[in-house]
Amino acid sequence: MQQTRTSMIALAVLILASDLAAAGTGQAEATLSAEEIVERSVQARGGLEAWKAVKTLRMKGVMELGGGTSMPLILEFKRPSKVRIEFEIEGRKGSQAYDGETAWAIVTYGEGKPIRLEPAQSKDLVQQADLEGPLIGYREKGHKIRRIAKDPSDSTDTYIIEVKRKDGEITIHHIDSESFLEVEQLTRRSFEGEEIEISIRPSDYRQVGDLLIPYHVEQSVSIAPAPQVIQLDSVELNLDLADERFAFPEESP
């Protein structure tokens, strides 16, 4: 039971990480192409060049798990493809990282020793190493986008963009038609043999340097009893983060 719960927490942390490091009532323009919508969205978040100028990123905050349970959270990113996540739940510390080649974790329910993750275990973590998310620089990343027509019964005023990632996974992005900021992301994926649906809703975008970053993200997972919420306290750009922070911790002889 402890392992299952820890796996769910780890999944939630991984999914939310990419949208943190990835809110209007205008009238959506039917003539805008997917490329034009994404370009405006990227500009609303600071612009492509401003994001390319970010070499490292650190976020600190708290993740509310529901039922009065919360945990402190630290997310660190370094280009080109490094990520480290640290958290603590019920007095047990955990960490996960990817250095561009090796994905690893220190689990909270085991002996506390680092373990290398298999490809099937590390897919989510590897995706999170993309610090700005799939829309920014999507062409260079090998992703494909297309605009999806809205259901007539949908009263929300958003653009809907489908992203087919280079690895084949599909995510649906709802972009506000006035601010051009992302307000929801939907994903379906397999988790422990079961198909789940994940809804991520970023909000409270704040200026950090030249960028806009959501400080509040709510996530609902179809198999989870309650949504999880991340509330950031701080975001720091271009810190000196050593490569060793992301590398697998080798034991001393």
Q: How much is the pLDDT for 11?
A: 54
Who has greater pLDDT, 138 or 20? 138
Exposed, middle or buried by CB within 10 Å (0-12, 13-18, 19+), for 239?
exposed
Residue 84, C-beta contacts closer than 8 angstroms, at least 6 positions apart: 74, 75, 76, 77, 95, 96, 97, 245, 246
Least confident of 14-23, 69-78, 139-148, 212-221: 14-23
Q: How much is the pLDDT for 165?
A: 94
Number of structural domains (the chain) is 1
Q: Is residue 64 part of a domain?
A: yes
* Per-residue model confidence as pLDDT tens digits over 96-118: 999 999 999 997 665 678 899 98
Average pLDDT, whole number, for the chain? Answer: 85
Q: How much is the pLDDT for 119?
A: 83
Q: Is residue 253 part of a domain?
A: no
Q: Is residue 108 part of a domain?
A: yes
Q: Is residue 250 part of a domain?
A: no
* Per-residue model confidence as pLDDT tens digits over 59-86: 999 998 877 888 999 999 999 999 999 9
Q: Is residue 69 part of a domain?
A: yes
* Per-residue model confidence as pLDDT tens digits over 171-188: 999 999 999 999 999 998
Who has greater pLDDT, 228 or 4? 228
Q: Is residue 115 part of a domain?
A: yes
What pTM value is reported for the model? Answer: 0.82
Specify the CATH number for the domain of residue 205: 2.50.20.10
Q: Is residue 106 part of a domain?
A: yes
Q: Is residue 107 part of a domain?
A: yes
Q: How much is the pLDDT for 152?
A: 63
Residue range(s) defining the domain that contains residue 140: 2-22+28-245
Who has greater pLDDT, 202 or 112? 202
